[in-house]
Amino acid sequence: MGGPHVIDADQVTKNYGEFTALAGVCVHVDAGECLALLGPNGAGKTTLTEILEGYRTRDSGEVEVLGVDPSKPTGAWRSKLGIVLQNASDLADLTVSETITHFARYYPNPADPEQVIAAVGLTEKAGARNGKLSGGQRRRLDVALGIIGNPEVLFLDEPTTGFDPEARREFWVLIDRLKSEGTTILLTTHYLDEAQYLADRVAVIARGQIVAHGTPDSIGHRGDAIVTWSEGKREMSESTTEPTAFVAALASKFDGEIPHLRVRRASLEDAYLELIAQDRDIHAGEHL
């Protein structure tokens, strides 16, 4: 894997009783890079993320984040990390402003609380109790708490759950800015457009293993085009590397226009769904 990475995980395994959560995962992220971790629920994304954050222990393998083994965390190391966990509902009785100002005290080099509140778009809600925020606002508070310490590495575990499309766009702009300032980001998400927009690289994890990784544009069979059309009431679809020839052949089948013809490049979502389906087929084969 070459030189020192900001995040370096090598052959990480983790079992919960009979269940294998991670079966030898290798992940590395360079300084200033954003890696998106994709995968179905239960694939091991959160287990891996929480091992890197120092919350969970691993059974075997080597892990370093900023040169420190997360299973031996120190205060100085933690002050360089920003963590946005899944589904938080804590701190309900404090106001947004009280919360951010208080957490800034824990860090040696915090951002300005007012600026952070503004950056996540909560200025109008600064005096509101956290428990009264909507789902999306609450999530933005979590993001604010993740970045208040000016982290070198930011972990985002499904950060935009419950956001409306506009809020999600605003969040992307915010994360883009952190990236341009050199923050290293590990993003876990179910939204593939989010990974497409934010990530320099994506890794697909299934059943505790990385089944594919690459840039958002190259992962899977992305040379393929997808042609869709209708025949009677049926929706037809074909994946092909020669869409022009395919459409020409198709045109000769129809008199004139091909109904509902559409030709598009395979998206990250198409590639992801195909990878997961392939993995499921292989896994089903193992049990025969």
Question: Which residues would be at the binding site for another protein (CB under 8 A)?
Answer: 53-57, 75-76, 78-79, 81, 83, 85, 87-94, 98, 102-103, 105-108, 129, 145, 149
| For another protein, the closer CB: 141 or 225 | 141
> How many Cα atoms sit within 13 Å of 161 on the Cβ side?
14
Residue 109 near residue 135 (C-beta atoms within 8 A): no
Question: Residue 73: CB partners within 8 Å, gap ≥ 6?
Answer: 54
Minimal distance in Å, beta carbon 89 to another protein?
5
Tell me how crowded residue 225 is: count the other CB atoms within 10 A of its CB.
18
User: Sign of dihedral through CA atoms 54, 55, 57, 63?
Assistant: negative
Minimal distance in Å, beta carbon 56 to another protein?
5
Minimal distance in Å, beta carbon 113 to another protein?
13
Q: Name the nearest CA neighbour of 49 among 76, 74, 21, 77.
A: 21
Minimal distance in Å, beta carbon 273 to another protein?
30
Q: How far apart are CA 206 and CA 22, in angstroms?
A: 9
Minimal distance in Å, beta carbon 88 to another protein?
5
> How many Cα atoms sit within 13 Å of 206 on the Cβ side?
16
| For another protein, the closer CB: 56 or 190 | 56
Tell me how crowded residue 95 is: count the other CB atoms within 10 A of its CB.
17
